[in-house]
Amino acid sequence: MRLDARGLALTTDSAAAAASFDAAIGSYLRYRLDAAKHLDAALDADPGFALAHAMRGYFAMLSYKRANVAAAVAALAQARANAGGLTLREQRHLDALEAWSAGRLWRAIGAWEAILADHPADVVALRLAHFNYFWMGEAGAMRESVLRAKPGWDTDLPGYGTVLACEAFAREECGEYRPAEAAGRAAVERDPADLWGTHAVAHVMEMEGRHADGIAWLDGLKAHWEGAAAIVHHLWWHRALYHYELGQFDAVLALYDERFRNPASPLVQAMPDLYIDIQNAAAMLWRLERAGVAVGDRWTEIADKAEARIGDTLSAFTQPHWMMALAAAGRGAAADRLIAALDEAATAPDTLAPVHATVTRPVAAAARAHRAGDWATVVDLLWPVRNELKRLGGSHAQRDIFRQMLADAAARSGRRDVLRAVLAEEALGRALPLTRRRAYAPLAAAAA
């Protein structure tokens, strides 16, 4: 029995395995690329280290990629084969991995929350619950989860910065911008390479329309992003979003090509179809085209990645982004197959099935109809689900694209009733006036 960096019991007798396991968690929390390497070292030191096997399974699941579920299931089998004498906390991690790999997300979250009730400093349970709440659109539960655990932490414990970063992001998604920014800045003060804390503050600045502040914030921290995983693409995407709002489209395209969607970069080459990267790319190309900017053939490689993954429905929010790319590239047969795959996914015995049935499918179909200029269909599909968009997961800033799509189609199809309602909702939702939001300002002028 060994203790981890937070004093939690690990069922291994190997000091080297425990040290490498701590290093793997530290790298995971900091989005470093060497997390899997440290985990490999832990398992080399103790091949019977069940929790390290479970961690390997978690890493596989974090790709939200169907092809990697088999690796998670295999890791779970290894963990189960070495489950004699495990603590209840470790057993619950195995249960969580089993549920997650079977698509039973609420069951997985239940296991992580049970761990946190006994061990608030189990930062892996905290972080995995946080991310799965996030991709399920459960902002309130995400906030409550971290605020429940926080008082159980000694602020000197390694990983406390992650608690602050998760608090910051969860509060931001709940509209609590002042405490969100304070917690995010506190996380970054502890560690300027705290990318999730950096990201949370960037979201506050996006939601408050502080575009110049956002550019300066990210500019001042980018020196700390070396050696980090694909989250850096998303940070560069946020920076591009500020430039987009400022009408600096050349800067957006330059960031697209050099910073967040460069197919030749080692990070993209390592995972060319990573869900968040595809979301970043498709969402920005769509915004640019709507602003009248020519994007050349950039849709093509995104459509290639989308087409190759049709039927992989583990990430709901990615599906309509795939559809944007398939429709933009004129791939009608593939678009048909994507819709058919969502219909099939809607019948599966997992947590996302009802989401796909009621939200993912209509939103994906709307993305296709928008490209076809079938504005009335876009309104018919999106208007009834606009308050359910959160179930796709993602942030307010990310999901805004579908509200833009609805407002745009309402304007083009003469649905002034829908347009006025959506604009009114947007005006209520953010302190920033519509006249200062690039997507809505011309629509607000048209609706007046």
The DSSP code sequence of 54-87 is: HHHHHHHHTT--GGGHHHHHHHHHHHHHT-TT--
Residue 390 Cβ vs Fe ion, minimum distance, rounded to whole Å: 15
**C-beta closer to Fe ion: residue 32 or 199:** 199
| Closest to Fe ion by CB, 27 or 395 | 395
| Contact status, residue 94 vs residue 54, Cβ threshold 8 Å | yes
CB of 398 to Fe ion, least distance (A): 6
Name the residue nearer to Fe ion (CB basis): 195 or 366: 195
Residues forming a β-bridge with 10: 2
Minimum gap (Å) between residue 241 Cβ and Fe ion: 9
How many angstroms separate the Cα of 441 from the Cα of each of 17, 373, 411, 433, 435?
57, 21, 12, 9, 4
CB of 184 vs Fe ion, minimal distance in Å: 12
| For Fe ion, the closer CB: 96 or 195 | 195
Q: Which is nearer to Fe ion, 319 or 395 (CB)?
A: 395
For Fe ion, give the closer residue by CB, 148 or 210.
Answer: 210
Helix 88-101 vs helix 105-118: crossing angle, to nearest 10: 160
In angstroms, the CA 300 to CA 49 distance is: 44
Smallest distance, Fe ion to C-beta of residue 26, A: 23
Binding residues (CB under 5 A) for Fe ion: these are 395
DSSP-based three-state secondary structure for 252: helix
At how many degrees (to 10) do helices 275-290 and 318-328 cross?
50
Question: Is the CB of 153 or the CB of 196 nearer to Fe ion?
Answer: 196
Query: With respect to Fe ion, which residue has the nearer C-beta, 18 or 207?
Result: 207
Q: Which is nearer to Fe ion, 199 or 298 (CB)?
A: 199
Residue 255: partners with Cβ closer than 8 Å, 6 or more residues away: 236, 237, 239, 240, 243
Is residue 21 a contact partner of residue 10, using CB atoms and an 8 Å limit?
yes
CB-based contacts of 249-254 (< 8 A; 24+ apart in sequence): 249/288, 249/291, 249/293, 252/284, 252/288, 252/293, 253/288, 253/293, 253/295
Minimum distance from CB of 203 to Fe ion (Å)? 6
Which ranges of 62-159 would DSSP assign to H, the alpha helix? Answer: 69-81, 88-101, 105-118, 123-135, 139-149
What's the rounded Cα separation, in Å, for the pair 401 and 412? 16
Q: How far is the CB of 349 from Fe ion (least distance, A)?
A: 31
CB of 218 to Fe ion, least distance (A): 12
Nearest distance, CB of residue 231 and Fe ion, angstroms: 9
The C-alpha R_g of the chain, in whole angstroms, comes to 22
Place of tokens 């694909």: 230
For residue 10, give the H/E element and its range: strand 9-10
Which residue's CB atom is positioned nearest to Fe ion? Answer: 395
Q: Which of 225, 245, 250, 246 is nearest to 235 (CA)?
A: 225
Of the pair 101, 395, the CB lying nearest Fe ion is at 395
Minimal distance, residue 397 CB to Fe ion, in Å: 6
